[in-house]
Structure 1
Amino acid sequence: MIMNKWILFITCLLTGVLAVSSCNKILDKPPLDQIPDDQLKFTATEMKLYSNQFYPAFPGWFPGAYTGGIFWLDNASDNLVHGNYNYSAQLSGTGTVPPSGGGWDWGNIRAVNYFLANYQTSTDDPAQTNTYVGEIYFWRAWFYFSLLKQFGDLPWYNRPLTTEDMEALQAPRVKRNIIVDSILQDLDQAVALLAAPGQAEPLRINRGAALAFQSRVALYEGTWEKYHNGTVFGVEGADYTKYLRKAADAALKLMNAGYYSISPITDDPRFGYWRLFNQKDLSNNPEMILWKKFDKALGLTHFGQNMMAYGGGNTGLSKQLVDDYLCTDGKPIAISSLYRGDNTLQLQITNRDPRLAQTFLLPGYPRIITNGDTTGRFILPDINLLGDGRCTTGFEIFKGIAPDDADGTGSSTASIVFRYAEVLLNYAEAKAELGEGTQQVLDQTINLLRDRVSMPHLSANVGFTDPHWEFPELSPLLNEVRRERRVELALEGYRFDDLMRWSADQLIRRPLYGAKYQQFVGKPFDPPLNNIAVSADGYIFPLKNTPASGGWQFNPGRDYLLPLPSNELVLNKNLKQNPGWK
């Protein structure tokens, strides 16, 4: 436990309870982890500080775009194509059993369990402390869910262990659905104890965040168990419908509570969706359930904007993602008369869902604004550069760029942890999986998102057949619900989890392409184009000369879960290795 600048920032800036001057005084005090356990009184202030240490676990711009930036997380998916085919060893199939570590880390679980085992000694009024107890229940759910996604079955620890707890330390893993039941119970506790939105301290976990997370966890497990059923990753005898029902119920509670709504576009519709993702302050946005704030004055910045404004980040949108956006008649490109082809970037966004033109850069778009003057506008994608400056596909990231926040001194663009759009999509998917995807459900969810960008409504009967549906074995409605999720949440870090829970290795083990190459030939690139890998039919093919030329070598009998480190198998003979790993 380290009370670093981020914790001080949470305490001073996010809660508004302590002034900056008082935080400076805290710097002179011992860090929280240096206070002996028997001296903790579990006052409301101590409880808040204890929870603060976990806030950096939320993904965001911090600490850096490549290690945690939300707009780079999709490199581990088929939405982006990173220049390093081995960016995600799990997808590329190149993972090995680590001797230690490898994500099998229980430090945070022990810390939250210590709190939950001892906070009852507090003499403070529960009205002042309950919300922090709720936060800790949320954190135990958060850390267990992270471990579950990586390793599947887990030991369940609900108390802090010591070296004397040999029996517990030698515990075997229990089935993943039992772990999920415990996670959902923790979130029930969190919902009961946390303050409601509007009553909670700003930028702290509240009841809305707990319900949103509960819908995410339950949907993940319900679809995992459904689509991995009968495989080595399935759960024998499990009832996946109870998790789908829980996902729908949690989402509906949040929808009915009226805390949040879809943020309307009130200015230029060409950029309204884009502006959701590049603001410094989201406190007045009705869609934001929880977000992270940065502050240059406190030295709490990130360099994500510089990476996006000054180069392609050695990544780019895949053709597969771009092709998934509908035309403005609500039909897919394979059957719409409005589709204008893909010979140029401009043609590709013509008559298409407006979210597409707000996700990758087009000529004339702003990249860098200095003192109100747009000195740097996008002209050509950085396919001619090398390393981090390169755009791999010709579709260069625009979603998330803040042109006025890339001055080289560090950026303070906010990052989103939970937004209401995800909750609506969780509800729509859970209901569709349950066979209850009625028109009313779609009008409550997906069609609200489409209204924001003036796209036609989705009908429960869909009304068309797309020959390129990614999941032809599923119903038209499920295909379109999944399409909407991909489009609305593109580049926000959801796609990897979606591919894993849907057992979608067929999408992982296929070649990934970029834009048509010919449109860039003869253009004034500096340095000139050189050695651009191109497919036989003329598309930029970033991974052509790598082992992933035919698709990542993902092993569907092994790579849906990570291996346990070998030292843990030696220390605990009751632990068994995950399928396919030796």
Structure 2
Amino acid sequence: MKIKHIIIGFLALALGGCTEFLDRPPLTSLTDETAWENEENVRMYANKYYPDFFIGYGTGFSYGGAALMGFTFSDDAVLLGRQSNFTRAVPNSGIWSYSSIRSINIMIDRVENGMADKLEEEAYLHWLGIGRFFRGFRYSQLVFAYGDVPYYDKEVSDTDLDALYKPRTPRNEVMNAVYDDFKFALENVRLNDGDQSVNRYVVAGIVSRLALQEGTWQKYYYKNDEQAKKFFELAVEAGNMVISSGRYDIETDYRSLFTSNDLKGNKDVLLYRHYDAAVGIKHAISTNANLSESLIFGPSTDLIKSYICQDGKVWQNSGEEDADNFEIENLMKTRDSRFEASYHIKPHPRNRGSLLYITKFLPREIEASVAAGNTPPPDFLGANNVTDYPVLRYAEVLINWVEAKAELATLGGAAVSQGDLDKSINKIRKRPLAAQAVERGVKETAPLKIGALPQDPERDPQVSALLWEIRRERRMEFAFEASRIADLERWHKLDYMDTDAHMDLLSGAWVNFPEQLSSELNSANIGKISVVGLDGSITVYNGSNKDEMKGFYRHTTNEGRLPYLNQANINPYLAPVGRNQIDEYAAKGYELKQTEGWPQN
């Protein structure tokens, strides 16, 4: 099915294509006149939104916002060379896309005004709920990126210039409409609509994410506690809906969630993206973790230091033996189990950013085989990967839920209890361990105790000890899987990415070059590689100091990002629109205001 929508001027041509996703059959050809006759036609129309909203591992070499490759711009990653910069000037061209909003509004209109007598009431309300869920989802994305954006709740005619060039709608007005869409979807989308279809629990899981995001944006960026409370309460309500259903659990070891060829029936997962070579739906994410491909990014020292120790304390005051020994193999014995499940056991020269491969997305048996000197099998070369991706995990719902509760407590709500922590963070920490992890000395991390929170000397003093630990848990759980940068934005903490203030962003894994990578201590690397000690001292390899080359690896070409905070006419939190689009509005007799914090011209 291809349905073309055209909006003149700045709005893009929208093509609703036939994208295979989530085991769905190919879409048949329909027109606007024939599409709205029965429920199956509506279902086929709605199917096209899945790959837009649930990217997973992407397809082929198209990564977009896919796991691993899509999440290298944050304090979690260090890049070889200059670190990626925030936008520092208004671009010539660039603006939001409304193609999906137009398409979704058409769906809502056709169901609402043309199918009431063709569908049973339950089906009618379900498909209205699906449409409104996707509309709220897309508007949330637009608002998180741009702040105020034009709001449309109906199809706009190509000739209605006043509507096409309408002013930006205030953010709160847009998000209040999103709130209403989400509430409707939570009440009317089916509890079960078949395998791999959006149901009410999937809606609730996504709403727990998006409502939490809006609540924190309102609290920390806009300083609007009333709006913040409204969305935190929605996040808790949505989380409660999933938790109380009893349908989901934490029962799978961490890495297996990302390396399975079939996640069907897995209770850790509310929705997953299935890949199948037989129908040509494959990806390349596992290839980028296969120990054979060269990468220029890896985990930063800042991320590595953030992992909690197995006794539930930070490394500076942990009782674990050698907690201050940052050699990778030792970290796997002393840190939370997610560290061992996420990274290769030894430094590797093909990861030139950090010297530490992220193997979270590579099956353990493939990792072991390649580490032993074998070539990766065909399924783990090129864009031939067929491992499934858990698009929405129960663990995320639990962490969203407890974070929203903790935020509500700061706004007059009930305090987070030990029972809340046991139901969420501590439940996640009790997930099964892989046999290989146990053999390496990995143990279950001690529970988080409300009366004995870790005493972290690196804690941001503006953040309570409880919220700090909830945020740490989120960072460990979703490293290179979900967008850390989105978390920093909604917490109003992009200063964590300031490389002048945080030098651990420019280095990677701890390496004992003489013992682990002695071949790298050659004439070609003189002046190019260096190590950083725990005290921050930097030792550059000069050809005669081999024995001193022990510390966090840092390539000497690594440079910090350019200033982006407290700069005139720069707002790193919200995206500017292009000059060309502002001029286009003006040429039509309308005004497009620039995003807050950016110059109009």
Q: TM-score, normalised by structure 2?
A: 0.80
1:514 aligns with 2:508: yes
> Which residue of 102, 105, 122 corresponds with 1:110?
102
Q: Distance in 2 between matches of 1:182 and 1:156?
A: 9
Quote the residue 1:432 is aligned against. 406
Amino acid at match of 1:124: K
Kindly tell me: are residues 179 and 312 of structure 1, through their superposed partners in 2, closer, same or farther at Cα, counting changes over 3 Å? farther
Given the superposition, is the C-alpha separation of residues 425 and 343 from structure 1 closer, same or farther in structure 2, using an over 3 Å criterion?
closer
Instruction: Spell out, residue by residue over 1:143-194, the C-alpha distance to the aligned partner (whole angstroms, 9 max, x if none).
Output: 1111111101111100111233232223222222222221122122222332
SS of equivalent residue, structure 1 residue 291:
strand
Deviation at 1:438, TM superposition (A): 1.3
Match of 2:154 in 1: 159
Residue 114 of structure 2 aligns with which residue? 121
Residue 108 to residue 5, structure 1, CA distance change in 2 (3 Å): closer
Distance of aligned partners of 1:144 and 1:489 in 2 relative to their CA distance in 1, 3 Å threshold: same
2:79 aligns to what SS in structure 1?
coil
Q: In the TM superposition, what is the alpha-carbon distance from 1:445 to its structure 2 partner? A: 0.8
Quick check: 1:99 aligned with 2:92? yes
Amino acid at match of 1:69: A
Q: Structure 1 residue aligned with 2:579, among 562, 566, 574?
A: 566
1:280 aligned partner, one-letter code: N
Distance in 1 (CA, whole Å) between partners of 2:380 and 2:76 is 24
| 1:185 lines up with 2:194 in the alignment | no
Show CA shifts across 1:229-264 (max 9, x none): xxxxx2668532221122112111211122211124
SS in 1 for 2:293: coil
Residue in structure 1 matching 2:387, options 408, 413, 438: 413
Cross-structure match for 1:441: 420
- What is residue 222 of structure 1 aligned with on the other side? 215
Picking from 289, 313, 318, the partner of 1:308 is 289
Give the distance between the partners of 2:205 and 2:490, measured in 1 at CA: 18
CA distance in 2, matches of 1:294, 1:326: 34
Q: Offset of 1:504 from its aligned partner?
A: 0.7
- How do 1:218-367 and structure 2 match up within 5 A? 218-228=211-221, 234=222, 238-264=226-252, 272-309=253-290, 310-338=292-320, 340=322, 341-363=324-346
The correspondence for 2:429, drawn from 450, 471, 485, is 450
CA distance in structure 2 between the aligned counterparts of 1:246 and 1:258, rounded to whole angstroms: 20
On the 8 A contact 1:331/1:464 being kept in 2, the answer is: yes
Does the aligned pair in 1 maintain the 2:67–2:285 contact within 8 Å?
no
Is the 8 Å Cα contact of residues 81 and 393 (structure 1) preserved in structure 2? Answer: yes
SS of equivalent residue, structure 1 residue 290: strand
Letter in 1 for 2:538: D
> Aligned AA for 2:456?
D
Give the AA of the match of 2:340.
A
Extract unaligned runs of 5+ from structure 2.
4-14, 367-376, 410-414, 434-443, 540-550
Cα distance in structure 2, aligned partners of 1:562 and 1:227: 18
**C-alpha distance in 1 between matches for 2:137 and 2:193:** 19
Residue deviations 1:259-284 (CA, integer Å, cap 9, x gap): 211124xxxxxxx2111111111112
Match of 1:143 in 2: 138
Q: Which residue of 2 aligns with 1:537?
A: 538
Could you say what secondary structure the match of 2:392 adopts? strand
- 2:565 matched residue in structure 1: 555
Distance 1:204 1:82, change over 3 A: farther
Deviation at 1:132, TM superposition (A): 3.6
1:72 aligns with 2:39: no
2:23 corresponding residue in structure 1: 14
Secondary structure of the corresponding residue to residue 43 of structure 2: helix
Gap change, CA 1:522 and 1:316, over 3 Å in 2: closer
1:465 maps to 2:455: yes
Q: How big is the shift at 1:553? A: 2.9
The Cα offsets for residues 306-359 of structure 1, whole Å up to 9 and x where unpaired, read as 222122532101111111111111110011131523452112223221111111
**1:400 has 2:382 as partner:** no
CA distance in structure 1 between the partners assigned to 2:68 and 2:514 by the alignment: 25
CA–CA distance in 1 between the matches of 2:574 and 2:402? 27
CA spacing shift, 1:427–1:317, aligned 2, 3 Å: same
- CA–CA separation in structure 2 for the residues paired with 1:325 and 1:318: 12
Amino acid at match of 2:335: R
Question: Cα distance, 1:534 vs. partner?
Answer: 4.1
Q: Which amino acid aligns with 1:554?
A: Y
SS of aligned partner of 1:289 = strand
Aligned pairs, how many?
522
Which is further off, 104-113 or 162-171? 162-171
Question: Once superposed, what is the RMSD of the aligned Cα atoms?
Answer: 2.7
Tell me which amino acid in the other structure corresponds to 2:451. Answer: N
Within-5 A mapping of 1:12-91? 14-15=23-24, 23=26, 30=29, 32=30, 35=31, 37-57=32-52, 58-63=54-59, 64=61, 66-83=63-80, 85=82, 87=84
Q: Could you report, residue by residue, the CA deviation over 1:346-380 in whole angstroms, capped at 9, with x for unpaired residues?
A: 122232211111111114xxxxxxxxxxxxxxxx4
Structure 2 residue identity aligned to 1:115: M
Instruction: Classify 1:520/1:75 alpha carbon distance in 2 versus 1 (closer, same or farther; 3 Å).
Output: farther
Contact 1:325 1:487 survives alignment (8 Å)? yes
Whole-Å Cα distance in 2 between the matches of residues 49 and 84 of structure 1? 46
Unaligned runs of 5+ in 1: 229-233, 265-271, 364-379
Question: TM-score, length-normalised on structure 1?
Answer: 0.83
Match of 2:11 in 1: none
Give the distance between the partners of 2:516 and 2:390, measured in 1 at CA: 40
Q: CA deviation at 1:419?
A: 0.6
Structure 1 CA distance, aligned partners of 2:97 and 2:556?
A: 36
Distance apart, 1:525 and its partner CA: 4.4
The separation in 2 between residues aligned to 1:200 and 1:280, in whole angstroms, is 23
Aligned to 2:595, the other structure's residue is in SS state coil
Contact 1:461 1:477 (8 Å CA) reproduced: no
CA distance in 2, matches of 1:59, 1:286: 20
How far off is 1:305 after superposition?
1.6
One-letter amino acid of the structure 1 residue matched with residue 75 of structure 2:
D
Cα distance in 1 for residues equivalent to 2:78 and 2:310:
26
Q: Structure 2 vs 1, CA of residues 465 and 235 (structure 1 numbering), >3 Å: closer, same or farther?
A: closer
Task: Name the residue aligned to 1:373.
Answer: none
Contact 2:275–2:388 (CA under 8 A) maintained in structure 1: yes
CA distance in 1, matches of 2:183, 2:90: 36
The farther-off stretch of 531-540 and 448-457 is 531-540
Q: 1:203-232 CA distances to partner (integer Å, 9 max, x unpaired)?
A: 12111111111111111111112112xxxx
CA–CA distance in structure 2, aligned partners of residues 576 and 237 of structure 1 = 26
- Is residue 174 from structure 1 mapped to residue 163 from structure 2 by the alignment? no
Structure 2 counterpart of 1:314, one-letter code: I
TM superposition shift of 1:468: 1.4
Match of 1:377 in 2: none
2:306 & 2:571 partners in 1: Cα distance? 28
Change beyond 3 A, Cα 1:95–1:506: closer
